[in-house]
Structure 1
């Protein structure tokens, strides 16, 4: 009985995180446990417990006697999260590709296909959750559990407010298909191609998926020789 309750709580927490990432739970709006429970078809208790988990993670905050409100990260915070994800996920995905077996790829391919199906059905909650599972399972092949956990936390703090429009326009399917392409590149041992694709894929997070134009990743300006000379004076 206790394990079943924990399972429901975990499932609800994943769904709530996905709703936050997809922008279906908007900052400023208050959500009550009974209302959310009715949407999920469960009792309010696991929903309340899941929301308290999200409070600890800083994803929502409590509103006394009313419910919970989603927190709103700044654009700078979201840019920083994306930059960190690029630094972590790109090399680790390439490393994972180097050790992936045929059995690993066979296990990952249905996960990638479910992402495509969720995009086709315009089910953003399923899309975000299946996307999370796929990438974390792929990264796990590299053998660094702490990094996988950190990336999972960073993904939960991302906000993809542009997904609704992309799904409505049918453009989300092409992004979803990139997951199948990743597996094809791994099977072909094309690590350079995989690296380029992963960089572009994560770049969507602050581009089209966020409701913006795609843009190159930020680069810190390099000091000119003159500026370097002045700094030494």
Structure 2
């Protein structure tokens, strides 16, 4: 196993806050902060597919007891990002090409009507904070700042989908996205289409503000198609579970 470390695992300020006796950041529990930090480490390749790790080593890295780390890792198991290995800890997994294909089919069925429904009722006030995220996504893409691109992209899709008002639907869609991000983000960056992908976020919001539901559908489909092309390119180059 590669010992985790570096900017991604430290990004949540979790270690600093806990050592100072401060509260969890942004109202999150300690477990939620660890989940977030590990998720970014997986997305950014610091814990790549096929990598093995153990709860005690992660707990030492974070400077916390094993209990919240174990709870956090089990959350990641539920999200399909890692699997438990009997007596050997855990392993980061990449979804198979067949899973990615089926997941994209489900996403099409869910996301297109969801985006259209949101566009039919969304207000400019609701769009404004999400537009700021879209602007940040484009800026990070142009600067080649993949870490912050990932963070802003995650928040953009979570907030936008959340406007549907159905938390279960939002969580299902985000779960499908999360499993694909293990290979999608590095692939998009490697294919050199990250700026084009970033611009699609702004195009989607513009179509929503204009109440152009057909344009919303076209942009959503184009965004998903571009993502899937990256997934197909990446699926052959990562270890499968």
- The TM-score bracket by the shorter chain reads 0.7 to 0.9
CA distance in 2, matches of 1:121, 1:42: 33
2:94 aligned residue (56, 67, 72): 72
Written as runs of structure 1 = structure 2, the 5 A alignment for 1:1-233 is 4=24, 6-21=28-43, 24-33=46-55, 43=64, 45=66, 46-63=68-85, 66-159=88-181, 161=183, 163-164=185-186, 166-167=188-189, 170-211=192-233
Question: Structure 1 61/160 Cα, relative in aligned 2: closer, same or farther at 3 Å?
Answer: closer
Deviation at 1:165, TM superposition (A): 5.5
3-state DSSP class of the match of 2:173?
helix
Deviation at 1:154, TM superposition (A): 1.3
CA distance in 1, matches of 2:105, 2:166: 20
CA distance in 2, matches of 1:106, 1:81: 30
What 5-or-longer segments of structure 1 have no aligned partner?
A: 213-233
Contact 2:79–2:179 (Cα < 8 Å) also in 1 = no
Deviation at 1:192, TM superposition (A): 1.1
CA distance in 2, matches of 1:28, 1:11: 23
CA distance in 1, matches of 2:170, 2:179: 15
| Aligned positions, number | 212
Deviation at 1:147, TM superposition (A): 0.8
TM superposition score normalised by structure 1: 0.75
CA distance in 2, matches of 1:62, 1:76: 21
Larger Cα-atom Rg: 1
CA distance in 1, matches of 2:59, 2:145: 19
Question: Structure 1 11/206 Cα, relative in aligned 2: closer, same or farther at 3 Å?
Answer: same
3-state DSSP class of the match of 1:161?
helix
TM superposition score normalised by structure 2: 0.73
What 5-or-longer segments of structure 2 have no aligned partner?
A: 1-20, 235-241
